C-alpha cells in the first residue's frame, strides 16, 4: 500500500526563484548497487556507509533479503550485511523488474554458488539495453549460459577460472559483473576494454578492502588475481558524480549560488568542459564546488564559428546520465548547440515535454537534438519518463515562469534522495503531494 501511494505522488513546483545555500551529494547510486551485490562474495559481516536513501537501493536490499542475507540498518545511510546464510540462487522476478541493477547479482552468485537463475532486469526505458556483454564475459570465465525471453540460467559445472577477456563494449555493469565473478576465481583474469567510471573504481576499492587483488583501477585494463575467499570489512561509498553534475546544472540554469560540499571535483573535469560550452563556470575549493550566481550563459562556438556540440561516451567522456541536464541548460544559454546522445536511442524523447514548456528544440533523430536558446520556459504538467529526464524536468520547472506538475516521480526517487526536501532547504518552492 505504501509503495502504491508513492507511485501516485507528484511534485508541484513554482518556478522563477533563485536558490542559495550549501548541499552535500548523496552516496553514489551506481556504486552502492554493485557494492551491495558484492556483499554476497563474503561470508563475514560487512558494514557500508554513505548508502543513498533511494528506491533502487531499497529494491536491491529486498533482493538480498530474499536471497537470505541478514541486513541491519545502523543509521540513515549505514547498513550491516551478513551473507553467511545466503543459499538461494533464483532471483525474485517482481523485484528484478524494478531495477536494471538486478543483473549485478549474476556475477557474485555464480562465483559463490556456481549457479544463478536471473529474470530479465528492469530499469529505465531509454532504448535497448543489451545484456550480451555480461553473458559473454561470464561464459569466458567458465559459465554455461541458457537464455530465452523469460530468464537466464547460468551454471559453472567446473567452477570459474581466470581468463584474458576483451569486452565487446565498455559496459559499466558488465565490467562490474566480470570483476565480481573473477575476484574469487583461481588464476589471473585480464579484463580489457573495461569501463572505468568512478563507480567501477569504488567497487574495486571495496573489493580490495575485503581482500581482493585488483590492479589497474581507473584504467580500461584490469588485472585480477583470484583469491580463495573474501573477508568482512567496512567501507564508505564516494559521492554521486551524476548528482553533483545535476546540482551544477541546476544552479547554473536557475541563476543560483550553490556550495556543493564533498563533491569529488576530480570527477567533474569532462562535465566542466561540456557545460563550459554553454558558458557555465564554477570554482573548486578543496573537495567543494562553488557555483556562482547569475552566470551569463552563452554557447561557445567552435573555432571558425561552427556550431558547438555536446556528446556523451564511456568514461572519461561526458556521462550519458547528464545529457538530459545539458539539454535543459542549453535552453537557457544564448546560441545554438547540437546535443548528441550516442548511447541510448530513447533518452532524448523527453524533449517533447520541454517543447511544451516553450523550449526551441529540433529533435533530428533519436540521438540528436538542436537546441536554440535562451527561452523563457513556462509551467506545464508532465510525467517523468526516467530518472535523469525526471531530474532535468525538475530543473526546467524551477527555471520556468509559473507552476509545474511532474507526475511519476517514483522514477526520480529511484536515483535522487529526498530531492524535494533538500531543494526546499535551498529555497526552492517544491512540494510532494498525492495525485
Can you tell me whether residue 353 is helix, strand or coil?
helix
Question: Taking Cα atoms as reference points, which of 120, 122, 105 lies closest to residue 176?
Answer: 105
Q: Which domain holds residue 378?
A: 2-26+239-434
pLDDT attached to residue 7: 56
Of 179, 210, 236, the last residue of a domain is 236
φ/ψ of residue 105, rounded to 5: -80, -10
pLDDT attached to residue 209: 98
Contact present, 415 and 388 (Cβ < 8 Å): yes
pLDDT attached to residue 147: 79
Based on DSSP, count helices (H) and strands (E) in the chain, helices before strands: 15, 23
- Residue 203: Cβ-neighbour burial (10 angstroms; 0-12, 13-18, 19+): buried
- Residue 302: Cβ-neighbour burial (10 angstroms; 0-12, 13-18, 19+): exposed
Question: Taking Cα atoms as reference points, which of 82, 40, 77 lies closest to residue 57?
Answer: 77
Q: Which three cell numbers stand for residue 115?
A: 549457479
pLDDT attached to residue 10: 97
φ/ψ of residue 154, rounded to 5: -125, 135
Q: Are residues 366 and 427 in the same domain?
A: yes
Contact present, 100 and 128 (Cβ < 8 Å): no
Q: Are residues 334 and 347 in the same domain?
A: yes
pLDDT attached to residue 130: 72
In this structure, what CATH number is given to the domain that contains residue 115? 3.65.10.10
Torsion of CA 354, 358, 361, 365, to 10 degrees: 50
pLDDT attached to residue 98: 87
Task: Report the DSSP pairing between strands 381-383 and 403-407.
Answer: parallel
Mean pLDDT by 10 residues, the chain (435 residues): 58 97 97 98 98 96 97 97 95 90 95 92 54 93 86 91 96 96 98 98 98 97 97 98 98 98 98 98 98 96 94 95 97 98 89 97 96 97 94 98 96 94 97 91
Q: Are residues 286 and 429 in the same domain?
A: yes
Q: Are residues 250 and 189 in the same domain?
A: no
CB atoms within 10 A of CB 40: 25
Report the number of distinct structural domains present in the chain.
Answer: 2
Q: Are residues 110 and 15 in the same domain?
A: no
Q: What is the DSSP letter of 230?
A: B
Task: Report the DSSP pairing between strands 144-147 and 152-155.
Answer: antiparallel
pLDDT attached to residue 152: 87
Q: Are residues 424 and 370 in the same domain?
A: yes
How many whole angstroms separate alpha carbon 284 and alpha carbon 293? 15
Q: In what order do the strands lie in the sheet with 381-383?
A: 381-383, 403-407, 9-14, 429-434
Q: Are residues 91 and 215 in the same domain?
A: yes
The DSSP element (H or E) to which 327 belongs, if any, is: helix 323-331
| Cα 425 to Cα 222, 239, 403, 428, distances in angstroms | 42, 20, 19, 7
Contact present, 308 and 338 (Cβ < 8 Å): yes
Q: Are residues 349 and 384 in the same domain?
A: yes
Contact present, 206 and 198 (Cβ < 8 Å): no
Torsion of CA 206, 203, 161, 121, to 10 degrees: 130
* Cα 47 → chain centroid: 22
3-state secondary structure 241-303: HHHHHHHHHHHHHHCCEEEECCCCHHHHHHHHHHHHCCCCCCEEECCEEEECCCCCCECCCEC
Look at the block and give the residue holding cell 552563452: 298
How many whole angstroms separate alpha carbon 125 and alpha carbon 117? 23
Point out which residues pair with 115 in neighbouring strands. Answer: 155
Q: Are residues 291 and 192 in the same domain?
A: no
pLDDT attached to residue 382: 96
Q: Are residues 372 and 297 in the same domain?
A: yes
Q: Are residues 16 and 65 in the same domain?
A: no
Contact present, 278 and 330 (Cβ < 8 Å): yes
Task: Report the DSSP pairing between strands 221-225 and 188-192.
Answer: antiparallel
Q: Are residues 11 and 125 in the same domain?
A: no
pLDDT attached to residue 124: 44
Of 181, 207, 236, the last residue of a domain is 236
Of 195, 218, 236, the last residue of a domain is 236
Q: Which three cell numbers stand for residue 254?
A: 536557475
Point out which residues pair with 407 in neighbouring strands. Answer: 10, 383
**Mind telling me the catalytic residues?**
124
**Angle at the Cα of 237 from the Cα atoms of 9 and 425, rounded to 5 degrees:** 45
Amino acid at each position: 500500500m505504501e509503495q502504491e501511494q508513492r507511485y501516485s505522488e507528484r511534485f508541484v513546483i513554482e518556478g522563477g526563484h533563485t536558490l542559495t545555500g550549501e548541499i552535500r551529494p548523496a552516496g553514489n547510486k551506481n556504486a552502492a548497487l554493485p557494492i551491495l551485490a558484492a556483499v554476497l562474495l563474503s561470508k563475514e559481516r560487512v558494514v557500508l556507509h554513505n548508502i543513498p536513501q533511494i528506491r533502487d537501493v531499497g529494491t536491491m536490499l529486498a533482493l538480498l533479503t530474499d536471497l537470505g542475507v541478514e541486513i541491519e540498518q545502523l543509521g540513515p545511510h549505514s547498513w550491516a550485511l551478513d551473507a553467511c546464510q545466503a543459499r538461494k540462487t533464483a532471483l525474485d522476478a517482481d523485484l528484478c523488474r524494478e531495477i536494471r541493477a538486478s543483473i549485478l547479482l549474476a556475477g557474485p552468485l555464480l562465483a559463490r554458488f556456481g549457479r544463478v537463475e536471473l529474470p530479465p532486469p528492469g530499469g529505465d526505458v531509454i532504448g535497448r539495453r543489451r545484456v550480451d556483454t555480461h553473458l559473454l564475459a561470464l561464459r569466458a570465465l567458465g559459465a554455461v549460459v541458457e537464455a530465452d525471453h523469460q530468464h537466464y540460467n547460468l551454471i559453472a559445472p567446473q567452477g570459474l577460472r581466470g581468463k584474458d577477456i576483451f569486452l565487446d563494449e565498455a559496459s559499466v555493469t558488465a565490467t562490474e559483473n566480470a570483476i565480481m565473478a573473477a575476484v574469487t576465481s583461481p588464476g589471473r583474469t585480464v579484463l580489457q576494454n573495461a569501463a572505468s567510471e568512478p563507480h567501477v573504481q569504488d567497487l574495486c576499492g571495496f573489493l580490495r578492502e575485503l581482500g581482493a587483488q585488483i590492479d589497474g583501477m581507473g584504467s580500461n585494463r584490469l588485472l585480477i588475481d583470484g583469491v580463495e575467499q573474501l573477508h568482512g570489512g567496512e567501507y564508505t561509498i564516494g559521492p554521486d558524480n551524476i548528482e553533483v553534475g545535476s546540482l551544477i546544472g541546476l544552479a547554473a540554469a536557475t541563476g543560483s549560488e550553490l556550495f556543493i560540499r564533498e563533491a569529488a571535483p576530480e570527477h567533474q573535469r569532462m562535465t566542466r568542459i561540456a557545460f563550459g560550452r554553454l558558458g557555465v563556470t564554477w570554482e573548486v575549493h578543496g573537495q567543494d564546488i562553488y557555483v556562482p550566481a547569475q552566470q551569463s550563459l552563452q554557447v561557445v562556438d567552435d573555432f571558425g564559428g561552427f556550431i558547438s556540440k555536446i556528446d556523451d561516451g564511456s568514461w572519461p567522456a561526458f556521462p550519458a546520465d547528464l545529457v538530459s541536464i545539458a539539454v535543459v541548460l542549453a535552453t537557457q544559454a544564448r546560441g545554438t548547440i547540437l546535443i548528441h546522445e550516442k548511447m541510448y536511442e530513447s533518452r532524448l524523447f523527453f524533449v517533447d515535454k520541454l517543447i511544451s514548456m516553450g523550449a526551441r528544440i529540433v529533435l533530428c533523430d533519436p540521438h540528436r537534438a538542436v537546441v536554440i536558446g535562451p527561452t523563457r520556459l513556462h509551467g506545464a504538467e508532465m510525467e517523468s519518463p526516467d530518472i535523469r529526464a525526471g531530474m532535468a524536468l525538475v530543473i526546467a520547472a524551477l527555471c520556468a515562469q509559473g507552476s509545474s506538475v511532474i507526475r511519476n516521480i517514483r522514477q526520480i526517487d529511484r536515483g535522487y534522495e529526498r530531492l524535494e526536501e533538500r531543494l526546499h532547504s535551498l529555497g526552492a518552492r517544491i512540494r510532494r503531494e498525492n495525485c
